[in-house]
Structures are given as structure tokens and as C-alpha cells.
Structure 1
Amino acid sequence: MSHNQHESVCEKLSRELRHFKWREVFTWRLLKTLALGQGLSALICGTAVTSQYLATEFHLDIPMLQSCINYTLVCLTYTTALCFRKGDENILQILRTKWWKYLLLGLADVEANYAVVKAYQYTTLTSIQLLDCFILPVLLILSRVFLKTRYRIIHYVAVCVCLAGVGAMVGADLISGRDQGSSSNILLGDGLVIISATLYAVSNLCQEYIVKNNSRMEFLGMVGLFGTLISGIQLGILEHNEVANIQWTWQIALLLCGFAVCMYTLYSCMPVVINMTSATAVNLSLLTADLFSLFCGLFLFQYTFSGLYVVSLVVIMVGFIMFNTVPTPTRTPEPVSEEGGHDNQAAELDEERQVGSEVENQEKEETDSSGKSLPAENGHRCVLSSVKM
């Protein structure tokens, strides 16, 4: 980047910062968005803690069973609700017109969950934490191309700030010796993480589009239906031996129920938060989920604490607030204005035709009375007084 280009970027950033109304930054909407985003992070923390207990205490590695339970709950709730809707929102009408789209969406969502869990067998926790952030640039690109989202310099800076917070978290993990995971095939593991992040980005982008243009019920109903089918097939192929060999106890059942409740609540609430903000903003907020899991691990798994974790949390929060201070509108059709209808081209054209008709009638009346026609001004109004001879 040349010196002039560098100055241009700095000037744009400083100009946007000068135009901020700092007193209006911390609105109730922003605080609500922040609270809901951290609530989603807490739910992800719950899924991580229960999965950690299943893996360490009971030596169970059953990611497809856990996913299948979640998709089944979503299917029983939201897919059943779609069956009782009428018109275009009925499940039969949706399947008739868009079944293949939701099949691909369900496949992307299921495989994203499976790929990131599988990556822990081949690569380290540090690599997963770093490469999982690949979802952010992919989401920025996809949102810009498909949703026509208009990002500003401050949004890109906010994403970089959040990534710096993730870097501080990874550094704290290395210092405290928490670089867990395997290193049997790092290249394969890293590739699985990148594939998972890309599929998550596609799933979240589709979720944002469907929720904002159709309905939350349609998205969850279709994902629950196809997610149950796909995860059930994979469960029967990949994990039938593991499931058959489970020595069921009340602790295992309780942990699976806790995981299912957290994941079901996450799937139910995430479309609400995405509808309020965007998929990119939600994923920025979810960067704190690993920190919440760490803080729980300090008491449950005797993790070593580092002050960099607090720094990481603060930096990610600052980046998230920066991202949400400036809206990211999409190019959607403008609504009809209540005052004059100038935002609707059809209404404006009808108004012009009506005015033009009035002009012709008035000109005709004036011609009949005085024998001379009076000119119209600008095609929208006519002179109502005549010059006496």
C-alpha cells in the first residue's frame, strides 16, 4: 500500500470517527444486542462444557448423536408448527418450491458442526481457535456480494480489533500451556477447520437472508427437517458402534440433556439476534464463547489463569461495540412513503399523470372562457390567473 493510499484510509477513518455522535453510541438497542450476543456465547459455553465432560470423564466421542438430538428437537418444534400454517408458509408449499435449497442448507449446517469436532483429532486447540476466525472474512465477502451489505472503514477496523482479541486469547493459551488437542495430522485438521468456517459462513448468510425476508419459523423448520435426516443417516453410518457400546448412566443422560437444551436454545435464539443485527455482528459476539468456556474451566477442569484472557475479553468487546455503532444497511426496495409517496416510483408516476390531467382540464376551461390557453409550469402546476386585455 502506497503512502497516499495509507493516508486516504486514515483520512476516511478519522472522518467517520469525527462524525460519530458519541453520546448516542451506547443506546438501549446496542446494550440489548450486546447482552443477547453474550447470551449466545454462554449457550455455546454450555455445549462446550458438557461435551468436555462427556469426552474426559466418560470417554465418549459422539458428535453426530449430539447433533442429531438437537436437530430432532428443532424438527419436532418448528417443522411441526409449519405443518399447521396456511398458504405459502405451509410446509408442503415450501417443499414444493424450495426443497433443494434447504437440503443444501441443512447439509452445510450439519457438515460444519461435524468438521470442526473432527478437527480436534488432528490439530491443536490453537490452530482451531485461529482458523475458526476465517468465518469473518468469508462472511464479509459473501454479505457484500449476495446481500449487497454496505460496510464502512470502521467495520473492517472493528473486525481487526476483534481478531486482535482472539490473538491475545491464543497467546494466553500458549503461555498457560493450554495448547490441547492432537498433532497427528495438522494439515488435515487445519483444512477441516477452514472447511467448517466456510460452511458456517454460508449457513449464517442464508439464515440472515431467510429470517429477514421470509420468517424465523421457516428457517428453523426446514433446517430441523433436513438436519434430522442428514445427521440421522451420518449417525447410522459413522457412529453406530459407539452408540451401541454406551454404558448408560444418569450422569451421561444428564450431560446429553444439558447439551441438547443449550444447543436447542442457541438455534432458537440466534435467528432473533441475527434479525436485529447481522450474521457478521453475531459471529463477532460469539468470539467470547471460548473465553467463557475457559472461565468455567478454571473451576471445573483446573485451567491456569492468565491476565491476557481479561485483555482478550475487553478487546473483543470493544471491537464488537465499534462494529455496531454504525449500521450496515442492505440494498432493499424502498418502502412507500406516507408523505407524498415519493419513495415509490409507481405512486409518483400516478401522481404526475393525475396532475397532468388536471392541467389539461384547466387549460381547456381557460381556452373556452377567454379563447387563449395558459401555459403550465414544469408540467406539475398551471397558472390560475389570467391577464385581462
Structure 2
Amino acid sequence: MSITGMLSPEARRQLTNAAYGQVISLLLVITSVFTRYLNDANASLPTFQTLFLYGGLTVTYLVYHVVAKRPRVDLPWWYWAILGLVDVEGNYCVVLAFRGLSNFAVMGLVVHMTIPFVTILSFLFLRRKYLPVHIIGCILAIAGCTLIFLATTQDGDYPDQVKSNLYALLGSLGYAVSNLLNEYAVKKGGIDANIECLGMIGIWGLVISIIQFYCLEYDQFKAVDWDGATIGYTFGYVLTMYVFYTVVSVFLRVTEALMFNLSMLTSDLYAALLIRWIFGNIVPTLYWPAWGLEVVGIVLYSLREPIQLRRDDPNWWLNKVWNAIALRLGLPIKMPVDSPALYIDTPTKKDSYVEQLA
């Protein structure tokens, strides 16, 4: 009997999830390596690098979705346009972060600010209620990111480090918005929603990338010496990113958030060691305490799922702010839009609704 045959179904599932996670980690590290090689060859063109990625997503996922006449997600065209835009700009900022003289080993930690950004945006727009453990996890992740900023200044061997960290921070914000929009779309359907979402990211990302490329990078593109090595690095980056998008889409359907977030952390560890080995970047002393803070923070964050509240009232968070003020001033409390009355002022109903606000 094989080793896997001796394991319980749950153990085999977790082993499969762990394998998926490590594949994702390695894909992230490989994209970093290809980006570094392109930067060293003076061929770092952030929009151009991702243009072919979006083209690949379009000709596979979108074409399949249309030809197979699969069910569509009921979302307007501008929703997909915004999703494509923030995804393009998130990738653009992260690739920009690898330009210049900076220590690439530390920038993966900065990108983990995606989690606090997602938490804030989900609270505001997806009406999620977060528990104290989530808040503590976010605080620790922010502390780790802050420690990295304090550890890297514009002095010494890496004069562009602060600028690179800021680009990575902007990229993490773009990824947070993209993840939020992606999640909202996918939750409206099954696997067909995943396929359509990847296809729509592809077509809108392709259109936006073509426009941005001609506006910002066309002159740089003509100046690049496109030899075999440079073309190979570009192809390697595009292929790795395409596989990454595909694997992540599958991975998030078969596993929980904890395994995914831990996979992102192991990619940082691989990146720090590999980039030191290949490129000779010195890992700062404060890298490991910062990494430890983010490990603890993300593990705490992932232990419990946030509570999904009803989304009947699109202005629920504004109403909640108003109600908090109204309670202190003795003013009537505003009800959600699906309630039979807009305002309540009787003690019994007020006490009942105040409990829901907590």
C-alpha cells in the first residue's frame, strides 16, 4: 500500500492543498527572478510584460466561455473594466518596484499589506464583520511592513529601496481591490464564474495594457536590445504569471484561506534565500523579525472566517456611523432599507436593533 493510501481523506486533501500552495510559492519566486533578469538587461517594461499575460487569458478563458456558451455572471461592463484596470496597475506597480537599486528580498513582505487593505475594503463594501483576532492579525502584519520600511533607508547599497517599497505598497493596494472585485464576481456563480472572471480580466487588461504601453513604454521598447535571452526572460515571466493566475483560481476553490496565506509566506522565504543565492542580495537583519510578525499576524487572521452580514442596504456603513452618533445624542436611529420603518424611536425596537449593530 502506498503512503498516500494509508492517509485519511482529510489528510490527503490537506497534503494536496499544501502541494498546490508550494507550487504557487515557487511560481511567485520565479516571476521575481525573471523580473530581476529583465531589469538587469534594461528591458524592464511593466506594462509590456503583462500585456501578453492578459492576451493569453483572453484567448483561452474568454474564448472558451463564449464558444461553450457557459452561464454568465450578471455584472455590468464597467465592473469588469474597473477590475481589469486595478489588476493591470497592481502588476505595473509591483514590476516597477523591481527597478533600480533595491533589495528585492524584502519587497515580498511589503506586498502582504494586501491583507489589511482587503480587510478595510471588505468591511466598507462587502459588509463583513471582523473579529478581534482579525484586527490583531492585521496590526501585526502592518507592524512587520513598518519594520521593513524602518530597516531599509536610501543610504548604503540600495538607494532606491524606499521608492521600491512604496511601489510594492501601491501594488498591494491594487491587488486588494482586484481580489475584492474578483471575489464578489466569483461568489455569484460556480466554476463558470471563475472562467468568465479570468477571461474578463484578460480582455479588459489587454485593452488597458495596449493603451498604456503606447502611452508610456513604446519609446523604451524600441530602445531595448531584444536578443534571445531577453525574449526568453519575457516569455518565462508571461508563462509563469499565466500558470499562477490559473493555479490560484483553482486553489482558492479547493482550500481555505489559511493555506493560501501561508503559501504566500513560504514564497517570501524562498525568495529571500534564492535571491541571495543568485543575485547576492544581503537579507537585512530586521527581515526575519518582520517576517515573523507577518507569519503570526497572517496565521491569526486566517484562523477564523469573518462574518458575512446581509447586504440589503448599500449604505449600511454610513448608516452605522449615523446610528452611533444618534445613540449618543438621543436622535432617532436609521433602519436598514429592507426594514418596514425607516426610523425607530421606541425603546424596545431600539434595543433590538442596537444589538444588531454591535
State the TM-score, normalized to the length of structure 1: 0.64
Q: 2:60 aligns with which of 77, 83, 93?
A: 77
Q: 1:106 aligns with which of 54, 79, 84?
A: 84
Question: Quick check: 1:181 aligned with 2:175?
Answer: no
Deviations 1:91-142 (A, max 9, x none): xx96xx6222101111111122223444666996699677645433321122
Q: Which moved more, 1:157-166 or 1:137-146?
A: 157-166
1:327 is matched with 305
Q: Structure 1 residues 131 and 87 mapped into 2: Cα distance closer, same or farther (>3 Å)?
A: closer
Question: Quick check: 1:65 aligned with 2:48?
Answer: yes
Secondary structure at the aligned position of 1:304 is classed as: coil
Looking at structure 2, the residues matched to 36 and 160 of structure 1 have their Cα atoms a distance apart, in angstroms, of 28
The answer to whether the Cα contact below 8 Å between 2:141 and 2:298 also exists between their aligned partners in 1 is yes
Q: Structure 1 residues 310 and 182 mapped into 2: Cα distance closer, same or farther (>3 Å)?
A: closer
Looking at structure 1, the residues matched to 46 and 309 of structure 2 have their Cα atoms a distance apart, in angstroms, of 39
Looking at structure 2, the residues matched to 137 and 330 of structure 1 have their Cα atoms a distance apart, in angstroms, of 17
Q: Structure 1 residues 67 and 87 mapped into 2: Cα distance closer, same or farther (>3 Å)?
A: closer
Q: 1:286 aligns with which of 238, 259, 264?
A: 264
Q: 1:149 aligns with which of 118, 128, 148?
A: 128
Matching residue's letter, 2:248: M
1:135 is matched with 114
How many residue pairs are counted as aligned between the two chains?
Answer: 297
1:245 is matched with 223
Q: 1:269 aligns with which of 247, 271, 286?
A: 247
Secondary structure at the aligned position of 1:213 is classed as: coil
- Structure 2: 5+ residue stretches without partners: 1-9, 312-358
Q: Which moved more, 1:260-269 or 1:323-332?
A: 323-332
The answer to whether the Cα contact below 8 Å between 1:129 and 1:170 also exists between their aligned partners in 2 is no
Looking at structure 1, the residues matched to 281 and 166 of structure 2 have their Cα atoms a distance apart, in angstroms, of 28
Q: Which moved more, 1:238-247 or 1:226-235?
A: 238-247
The answer to whether the Cα contact below 8 Å between 2:22 and 2:263 also exists between their aligned partners in 1 is yes
Bigger Rg, structure 1 or 2: 1
The answer to whether the Cα contact below 8 Å between 1:211 and 1:271 also exists between their aligned partners in 2 is no
1:42 is matched with 26
The answer to whether the Cα contact below 8 Å between 2:114 and 2:175 also exists between their aligned partners in 1 is yes
The answer to whether the Cα contact below 8 Å between 1:30 and 1:324 also exists between their aligned partners in 2 is no
Report the CA distance between 1:225 and its aligned residue. 0.9
Question: Quick check: 1:202 aligned with 2:182?
Answer: no
The answer to whether the Cα contact below 8 Å between 2:113 and 2:142 also exists between their aligned partners in 1 is no
Looking at structure 2, the residues matched to 37 and 43 of structure 1 have their Cα atoms a distance apart, in angstroms, of 10
Q: Structure 1 residues 125 and 180 mapped into 2: Cα distance closer, same or farther (>3 Å)?
A: farther
- % same residue: 28
The answer to whether the Cα contact below 8 Å between 1:288 and 1:313 also exists between their aligned partners in 2 is no
Secondary structure at the aligned position of 1:210 is classed as: helix
Secondary structure at the aligned position of 1:115 is classed as: helix
Secondary structure at the aligned position of 2:187 is classed as: helix
Report the CA distance between 1:34 and its aligned residue. 5.8
The answer to whether the Cα contact below 8 Å between 2:84 and 2:208 also exists between their aligned partners in 1 is yes
Q: Structure 1 residues 81 and 87 mapped into 2: Cα distance closer, same or farther (>3 Å)?
A: closer
The answer to whether the Cα contact below 8 Å between 2:149 and 2:165 also exists between their aligned partners in 1 is no
Report the CA distance between 1:72 and its aligned residue. 1.1
The answer to whether the Cα contact below 8 Å between 1:125 and 1:180 also exists between their aligned partners in 2 is no
Looking at structure 1, the residues matched to 228 and 101 of structure 2 have their Cα atoms a distance apart, in angstroms, of 32
1:219 is matched with 197
1:376 is matched with none
Looking at structure 2, the residues matched to 181 and 150 of structure 1 have their Cα atoms a distance apart, in angstroms, of 39
Looking at structure 2, the residues matched to 201 and 154 of structure 1 have their Cα atoms a distance apart, in angstroms, of 20
Q: 1:52 aligns with which of 18, 33, 36?
A: 36
Deviations 1:1-56 (A, max 9, x none): xxxxxxxxxxxxxxxxxxxxxxxxx9777776565445433322211111111111
- Structure 1: 5+ residue stretches without partners: 1-25, 334-389
